[in-house]
Amino acid sequence: MATPRAAASESLRVLGVDPGLTRCGLGVVDVSRDRRATLVGVGVVGTSAEQPLDARLLVIANAIDEWLERYEPEVVAVERVFSQLNVSTVMGVAQASGVVIAAAARRGVPVALHTPSEVKAAVTGSGRADKQAVTRMVTKILRLDASPRPADAADALALALAHAWRGSAPGSPSAVGRTTAMTATAMTPAQRAWTEAESRARRKT
């Protein structure tokens, strides 16, 4: 059963998607104005390499439609495709990403693309963190009793968190007009590092 939506003025609901044909990670979080994050839903959609491509994409498309219907996110955060991966992997990720983006567009839900280094920096404070570090921080940030498995699920949640925190960081465009801001003492080390990095980047522009 889906978690009821909080009032739009109180929280932001983000669906994070770690795209892939074999495993497509899905994670939904609610992030309040003080940047406290709560898990809403997490899962992985899997398809077999033995299936035809059209059938695999249809499975992903149906799953995304179901999650958009069930959780009603305000934005979808998708990992940006990188070319240093092998060609077959890039093609699969790109195809899955296209299905996700199109599904969101049909519903008028905005889509944001984030690089892996952006996501790692947002949740761990380091753009070079490994998957284990990301999973540990996601587990801690969301106050979970157990780590999300497999890694694709944790990555999807990290994407959702990264987008919500970037959008709600003090001084960012979406934060203008908000009266509640998280103080430095209330932030996690990763949140403080991310906010400080954003401030430095703005000063350089």
Give the tens place of pLDDT for each residue, 126-177: 989 999 999 999 999 999 999 999 999 999 999 999 999 875 433 233 443 3
Confidence of residue 90 (pLDDT cuts 50, 70, 90): confident
3-state SS of 125-142 is CCCCCCHHHHHHHHHHHC
CA distance 131 to 110: 27
Which is catalytic among the residues 30, 118, 152, 155? 152
Task: Report the pLDDT averaged over residues 24-31.
Answer: 97
CA distance 77 to 90: 18
Higher per-residue confidence, 107 vs 85 = 107
**What's the angle, vertex CA 81, arms to CA 137 and CA 125, rounded to 5?**
25
Find the catalytic residue in 18, 30, 155, 198.
18
According to DSSP, the residues that pair with 24 across neighbouring strands are 45
Q: Which helix (H) or strand (E) holds 172?
A: none
Report the SS3 class of residue 175: helix
Q: Which of 10, 54, 74, 79 is catalytic?
A: 79
Backbone angles phi, psi at 97, to 5 degrees: -60, -40
Give the per-residue pLDDT at 166. 79
Active site residue 79: yes
Find residue 13's DSSP bridge partners. Answer: 30
Confidence of residue 89 (pLDDT cuts 50, 70, 90): confident
Pinpoint the alpha helices (H) of 36-128: 53-71, 87-106, 116-124
> How far apart (Å, rounded) are the C-alpha atoms in residues 143 and 35?
14
pLDDT of residue 7: 44
The residue type at 78: V
SS3 of residue 27 by DSSP = strand
Tell me the pLDDT tens digit for each residue of 2-17.
555 544 448 999 999 9
Residue type at 15 in one-letter notation: L
Which carries the bigger pLDDT value, residue 26 or residue 86?
26
